[in-house]
Amino acid sequence: MIRAFEWRDDDTGRSVAGALLAAAERGVEITILKDRLGGFYEHLAGTKQSFFHKRIDLHARWQLWGLMMFYRRWGSLRQHPSPLAEALAAHPNVRLTVAKRFDHAKLFVFDDEAIITGGMGIGDDYRDVNVDFMVEIAGAAAVDRLAERYAGRARFDAHRRFDFLLHAFAGCARTGEVLARQRLALIAGARQRLTIAMAYLGDGTATQVLCDAVRRGVAVTLLTSARSDVGADLNLFTCARILRRTGHPPNPRLILHPRMVHAKAVVGDGRWVDLGSTNFTRLSHDGYEELNLFSRDAAFAQEVERAIEREAAQGAPARAPLGYRLWRLGWEQLITRVQTARSKLPAPR
């Protein structure tokens, strides 16, 4: 079973699809849940070719035009046919759902015995360029726990060795859980250090929690892109706000990486790690479905922390002024509000 937000028609996308088609041929039953919203970014970035979203109707066309004009990046309104995509979709052992699911999770489940999840889409840029993480959790117990969490039959338990932080429409509507509240409470509990790699910023509550951590003396390392692919001005504005609100003390290290940081990982005190698809944005915290692994395995947490520090060594400290443009910042905030409102999690009943 695969949940995919972005799936590009490039070497990586075709390699994954080829492996799936071979699996289907040997009798494996395959379920693919592909989010149509990710198609806009497939048309806009990388090879600008989507693996599944080959037809761009009038409604999608004007939205893509708007994104191209705003980000000043020329996408492709012309999609090349893919016999491989057609063969995969038509195979009797493949169940493909392509719809606006507002599902930003990245998830692979194998034979109900192993899970791979994290922040990476399916594409060459995710595989070869971006700073990002995927993690494998082995064992049927992990798969069962994830199913219980998605169904809303189990609540998040931060005392477990590992669990799943979810922003899932069905499950959270049943339990009343709020992913943002849970992860920000974990951050608020850090006492010594926070080591963070984050693709996109901008949620004011998350920004405030980071500022509070700095004020209580926590050593905060935040790694993000010098110029992210989307939301770049909002990212830089958030970094400037953290520095301004805390008075530029020595304990925050805001590092701007020359490559795209697409990771969404938080390590607290070298003891726990929160890693997955969820950004520090309103869209992730209040809109899209998201999936993060939470683990109290200190060895694993420290391995992730070391990986972030290795990448931080390639970046440069953020120093004011950070060069964001107010008009672009306003538009990015407006786009975020509109997208969040359209994908809002239903209230618990």
**Positions in the chain short of pLDDT 70:** 69-72, 338-339, 342-349
Q: According to the model, what pLDDT value does residue 338 have?
A: 67
Q: According to the model, what pLDDT value does residue 52 have?
A: 96
The encoded tokens of residue 139 equal: 């064992």
Cα(346)–Cα(290) distance, integer angstroms: 14
Q: Answer yes or no: pTM beyond 0.95.
A: no
CATH architecture of 167-342: 2-Layer Sandwich (3.30)
Cis peptide before 258 (omega within 30 of 0): no
Cβ-in-10-Å burial (0-12, 13-18, 19+) of 264 comes to buried
Q: According to the model, what pLDDT value does residue 329 have?
A: 77
Rounded to 5°, angle at Cα 82 from 81 and 85: 135
Q: According to the model, what pLDDT value does residue 347 have?
A: 44
Q: According to the model, what pLDDT value does residue 44 have?
A: 86
Cα(156)–Cα(165) distance, integer angstroms: 7
Q: According to the model, what pLDDT value does residue 348 have?
A: 39
Rg (CA), the chain: 20
Query: For residue 85, what is the enclosing H or E element?
Result: helix 83-90
Q: How far apart are the first and last CA of the chain?
A: 29
- Give the model confidence (pLDDT) of 76-95 as tens digits: 888 999 999 999 999 999 99
**Amino acid identity, residue 245?**
R
CB atoms near residue 68 (< 10 Å): 17
- Residue range(s) of every CATH 3.30.870.10 domain in the chain: 167-342
Q: According to the model, what pLDDT value does residue 343 have?
A: 66
Q: According to the model, what pLDDT value does residue 344 have?
A: 61
Q: Are 9 and 47 in contact (CB under 8 A)?
A: yes
Q: Are 104 and 5 in contact (CB under 8 A)?
A: yes
Cα(348)–Cα(177) distance, integer angstroms: 9
